[in-house]
Structure 1
Amino acid sequence: MKRLLTASFAAAALVLGGLTLAAPGAAAGPSHTAGQIMVKFRDHGAAAAVLRGYGLSDGPEIGGTGARLIKVPAGKELQLVDALGRNPAVEYAEPDQIVTPAAADQYIDRQYALNNSGQSFTNTAGTLTVGGGTADADVDAVEAWGVTQGYGIRVAVLDSGVASDNPDITPKVVARGNFSGASTGEDNYGHGTHVSGTVAASEGNTIGVAGVCPGCSILDGKVLNDSGVGSSSGLANGINWAVTNGAKVINMSLGVRASRTLETAVNNAWAKGAVLVAAAGNGGNQTKIYPAGYTNVIAVAATDNKDAKASFSTYGASWVDIAAPGVNVYSTFPNHKFYLGTQNNRSMGYDVGNGTSMSAPIVAATAALAWSVNPELDNQAIREKVQSSADNIPGTGTYWAKGRVNANNAVQPPPPAG
């Protein structure tokens, strides 16, 4: 694997992770998007008449869910959700929840997740010792490349976008969609570029890092704006766009409160054959977040370089399916000024990230690798293959159900019968 450390390092905590409604310790902000709600009618033919009764107009469908995005007066969202929810012509009405990033407070310097020998390395400045840990705490991605690098598989990353100026990941993007409300699709936040690099950064090109599935292509669905904030409706639209554009795997390193519209979008994508993966969250508790909490999504917790649960990781074997490295994961960042760099001293180009946001794309990329060697399988079989081939590390059965993902195991043929 490549070990080129082209970025300078800083000793500050990186604010990245599986996204929840508010960062731990941060002041709580508004929980829903102002000026709009999501409404699904039992018979859409009645929509216009019902909405006129509340002084409202019909709006666009949200991501193939049947729900509509309805503009309402700012400040009246919850009142109108309550009123419409009581109307017999309405199946449900709900606020358009805000999606925001959460924090994890760990920071060293070094990616180890692909192939960790247990050795330590010193960064280019010579000031910090990095790496180390347990020799087998990685996901055996380099070994998996002896079988496949995932060519021909599209992975959708629904996040803050993918930077157009990082040569290690930009060429891997085959389509872009913007569902965030930001004026451009550029990643000016940084999170989506980091996640995408973990999935599919180029291998063997003498620069930067390698993704777990370096042959994969990226569908860049920008659902978080330049401040790292998005909406349930934007995410639902992004899921629908991803499936329409051929995503075999959808990664969502983000989270929000439960939403029937979002759950419908997830279920639609599953029904159309996609594997969906999401970060379990960084609350350090067992509180369920979504979309990770939905049945048709693989929920991913975070481990460190000793194969232990990351202190910040949300956990619970009743709903968290699998684990993957999420502490000090080294990946791509934009080569222009971006929010996480400005706020948390992240380096342009490459640096580490911490959180279940970093764990989820490792699992998503593993699913893509498995699918590339088993194209005849359906999404249920690929999900089962990824989960059943995980390493049974301590915490399996208590913190997560299936173990820590192992990419090489996931691409191997099944043992002979008998």
Structure 2
Amino acid sequence: MRGRRVILSMVGAAFAVLCFPLSLSAEEDGAFSNSYIVKAADIEVLEDFAAQHGIEVSPLITYPNPSKETMELFGDSYVLTFPDESKSAAEDRIQMLGTLPGVAYVEPNARVYLAPGWDEEPVEDFSPSQGMNPADPYTPNDPLYDQQWDKPIAETDWAWNTSKGEGVIIAIIDTGVDTTHEDLVDNLVDGYNFALNNTNVWDVKGHGTTVCGMAGARMDNNLGVAGTAGLASIMMLRIADNSGAMYLNWAVNAVNYAADNGAKVISMSFIGGAYTPFETALNNAWEQGLFLCAGVGNSGNTNVGYPAAYERVMAVGASNQEDTRLPQSNYGEKVDIFAPGGYSTKRGGGYGGTSLTSFTTPQIAGLAALLFSAYPHATPQQVWDNIIQGADTIDSDVGKILRMNSRNAVEMEIIAVEERKPEPIGLWAASVQSGVIRFTYDLPASTSYNLRIFDVTGRELYAERGRTDTKGEISCNPALGSGVYFWRFKTSEGTSSGKFVYVR
């Protein structure tokens, strides 16, 4: 999937220094953050700086017994909490922080959010499906199964003849779960609360309980409903504090925890911005064999937020009982797959209908679990390919779209193959001259690229898209004042980022 290397050199005004890779993004809602994630090779330098400026330093990874792989990636990453002060004063500290020896990136510890359109307890009900009685699908004994119109539409009932998710752990990163719910308790395994650093994963919003039921409500227990992967295990990774607020550092911890503790699938029903530590954690999880999926949002437009927009995360939209696009669902070429809503568990022990992308995403997570259960040797890419290639093409108000078909996906055999790990992208020295920034690349094939430049607050100052040759140079001449700047150069062969100090 990735290529051999990208060689980047940079050119810009009277004086410049290129340091280690760095990228910086602002919070999505424009709010000023007083908490930042910093990757720094020299903790003593960082702590000395923090002590001088009244900044609190804590490790990014906070859960017990992280793996060697996690600590190799994030052992030198920290959360810095700035004292209450004006935005301009904090920006001065951030500017200075970016110039410290060994600092690779400084990024806001931004909030992440549940997708718009969700009220705390979705209560939309659906009438039992009519006229959907295929001869040989599997019918579980759950008494509310006739309310689950989604299972015949997606042919999940047929897929259950092959797999029910046995032996697979689905990690749900969300607001928590009703740990006493009759239809979830038998499928729950130990999770973690990253907001409070304990094992209390009780659902503070009601959102996560519904997500869990869609993916893995216990099937064939003569209770309630059947989740898509009704015999899979559910690991709740709570990233909400008691007020419901969710932050980036907790999401980064949750992804790493899932990879460290045996999960094969990660389901994410929240939206935030693009940040280096989160993308690093997701890429590491993928490379360790985990399938990733996330909801695209419920604004009814073509915007796809993060984490759904990351390359290795399947972006999930929502379809409805009429088997077309749910009007609230975001759509467009960045949406990989649509999935139906349905009938699920509710906090407090009940059940009810639901439809938004938060709750269609765990349908795809459940389907991935069915595939991993049927084909334990499968790679995330093979699971991805089966889901996409097995999908049905359906009509919608925005044209043809792909809607999940569990039967097709599961019945397409996955052959064990050895997957080649991508090689890291190398960076070499660079210079800045006459206001022109030059990127020199060496790639195995022509590919599309996306170049972005940010200031220290994460504000994007320049963006450019185009296509490379196999070797060549890309130059740009953005209007920059003196200061520290950060760039990101992304191609299908990989992503590189860096920082430079520009002085007129």
TM-score normalized by the length of structure 2: 0.65
Contact 1:187 1:226 in 2 (8 A): no
Matched AA of 2:182 = P
Question: Structure 1 residue 150: deviation in Å?
Answer: 1.0
State how far apart, in whole Å, the 2-side matches of 1:368 and 1:55 are: 47
* CA distance 1:146–1:118, shift in 2 (3 Å): closer
Equivalent residue, structure 1, for 2:290: 274
The yes-or-no answer on 1:51 pairing with 2:67 is no
Question: Structure 1 residue 334: deviation in Å?
Answer: 1.8
- Aligned pairs for 1:321-400 (under 5 A) are 321-326=336-341, 329-335=342-348, 349-395=350-396
Deviates more, 1:203-212 or 1:101-110: 101-110
- Aligned pairs for 1:5-404 (under 5 A) are 31=31, 35-42=34-41, 44=43, 46-62=45-61, 64=70, 65-66=73-74, 67-75=77-85, 79=91, 80-87=93-100, 89-104=102-117, 108-110=124-126, 117=131, 138-181=153-196, 184-317=200-333, 319-326=334-341, 329-335=342-348, 349-395=350-396, 403-404=402-403
Report the structure, 1 or 2, having the larger strand content: 2
Question: Structure 1 residue 370: deviation in Å?
Answer: 0.8
Contact 1:117 1:136 in 2 (8 A): no
Deviates more, 1:203-212 or 1:42-51: 42-51
Contact 1:330 1:353 in 2 (8 A): yes
Question: Structure 1 residue 367: deviation in Å?
Answer: 0.6
3-state SS of paired residue (2:55)? coil
Matched AA of 2:260 = T
State how far apart, in whole Å, the 1-side matches of 2:110 and 2:232 are: 31
**Between Structure 1 and Structure 2, how many residues are aligned?**
359
3-state SS of paired residue (1:219)? strand
3-state SS of paired residue (2:394)? coil
Contact 1:172 1:216 in 2 (8 A): yes
Contact 1:158 1:252 in 2 (8 A): yes
Contact 1:81 1:94 in 2 (8 A): no
Deviates more, 1:152-161 or 1:302-311: 302-311
State how far apart, in whole Å, the 1-side matches of 2:123 and 2:97 are: 47
Contact 2:115 2:271 in 1 (8 A): no
Unaligned runs of 5+ in 2: 1-26, 63-69, 134-145, 416-504
Question: Structure 1 residue 198: deviation in Å?
Answer: 0.6
State how far apart, in whole Å, the 2-side matches of 1:265 and 1:285 are: 28
Question: Structure 1 residue 305: deviation in Å?
Answer: 1.1
Equivalent residue, structure 1, for 2:499: none
Contact 2:148 2:343 in 1 (8 A): no
Matched AA of 1:293 = A
State how far apart, in whole Å, the 1-side matches of 2:336 and 2:101 are: 38
Contact 1:165 1:334 in 2 (8 A): no
Matched AA of 1:362 = Q
Matched AA of 1:71 = T
Matched AA of 1:215 = L
State how far apart, in whole Å, the 1-side matches of 2:330 and 2:281 are: 24
Contact 2:124 2:352 in 1 (8 A): no
State how far apart, in whole Å, the 1-side matches of 2:329 and 2:52 are: 46
Taking only aligned residues, the RMSD between alpha carbons, in angstroms, comes to 3.1
Matched AA of 1:411 = V
State how far apart, in whole Å, the 2-side matches of 1:81 and 1:284 are: 37
Larger Rg: 2
* CA distance 1:397–1:159, shift in 2 (3 Å): same
Contact 1:32 1:97 in 2 (8 A): no
Unaligned runs of 5+ in 1: 1-20, 23-27, 120-129, 336-347
Matched AA of 1:140 = E
3-state SS of paired residue (2:79)? strand
Q: Deviations over 1:15-59 (max 9, x none)?
A: xxxxxx99xxxxx7x7466x5211112555643344345443532
Aligned-pair identity (%): 31
Deviates more, 1:371-380 or 1:208-217: 371-380
Deviates more, 1:150-159 or 1:139-148: 139-148
Contact 2:179 2:201 in 1 (8 A): no
Contact 2:204 2:240 in 1 (8 A): no
3-state SS of paired residue (1:148)? coil
Contact 2:187 2:217 in 1 (8 A): yes
3-state SS of paired residue (2:382)? helix
State how far apart, in whole Å, the 2-side matches of 1:88 and 1:116 are: 67
Equivalent residue, structure 2, for 1:25: none
